[in-house]
Chains A and B, each alone.
Chain A
């Protein structure tokens, strides 16, 4: 079974709005990573958060981690059309990915 499960499966917003997607996992982790995949391309690493961290920022990205709930969230602020992609979380345990959240940002 997949370790990371993203929610929602699809999200459509207007440019300039914020986008929030969630990830749940099942076992204890050392770290959790978020990746982006543009249509027809390979994955691009966005950010890694360790199990002893609660929040991490990178540019317009904000990631939170709640190990008690085994969940993480990715917030993209001031979204742009170029943010349109699928977003995946993966835990360090065998690098298992979920099915992803497909984000569409309308101009």
Chain B
């Protein structure tokens, strides 16, 4: 089966510009996650969707970050405006669980490496 797809793979922008990332989860997976991974650190959960509803966005910087999952399938993560500290890899993952159970195995995409100059 196809894995989690993300695009673009790399993005370089100037600070204060806007950027958007796209994620296509594994077909049939109800739960979708966005993580931010700064170099040398572990992934930090930004937002978790179950179908098209938000389960957890407690660590999402809502003044500049936004995410949506229209129709409960694809998702986009946007940063507006970007800051230097947003330079990181943005990982998308999906899991099968309908109940948003944290026992569900997460399948990760390859990530988008963002550099903010």
Could you tell me which A residues sit within 8 Å of B by CB distance? 2, 4, 30-31, 41-45, 48, 50, 88, 90, 92-100
Contacts and interface: CB of A to CB of B under 8 A. Distances in A.
B66 interface: no
B72 interface: no
B23 to A, nearest CB: 11
- List the 10 closest pairs (A to B, CB-CB), nearest first: A42-B108, A97-B42, A92-B102, A43-B108, A45-B105, A97-B43, A95-B45, A98-B42, A99-B42, A88-B42
By secondary structure, the B interface counts as loop
B32 to A, nearest CB: 13
Q: Which of B33, B43, B110 has the most chain A CB within a 10 Å cutoff? A: B43
B85 interface: no
Given A42-B4, A88-B42, A31 B33 contact: no
A9 B103 CA distance: 26
Contacts of B59: 94
Given A2-B42, A44-B108, 18 more contacts: A30-B103, A31-B103, A41-B111, A42-B91, A42-B110, A43-B43, A43-B91, A45-B107, A48-B105, A94-B45, A94-B56, A94-B58, A95-B33, A95-B102, A96-B45, A97-B43, A99-B40, A99-B42
Is the interface on chain B under 10, 10 to 19, 20 to 34, or 35 or more residues? 20 to 34
A91 B24 CA distance: 25
Given A42-B91, A42-B111, A94-B56, A88 B43 contact: yes
Interface of B: 4, 33, 40-45, 48, 56, 58-59, 91, 93, 102-103, 105-111
Contacts of A2: 42
A42 B93 CA distance: 9
Contacts of A44: 108
Contacts of A92: 102-103
Contacts of A94: 45, 56, 58-59
A59 B91 CA distance: 27
Contacts of A90: 42
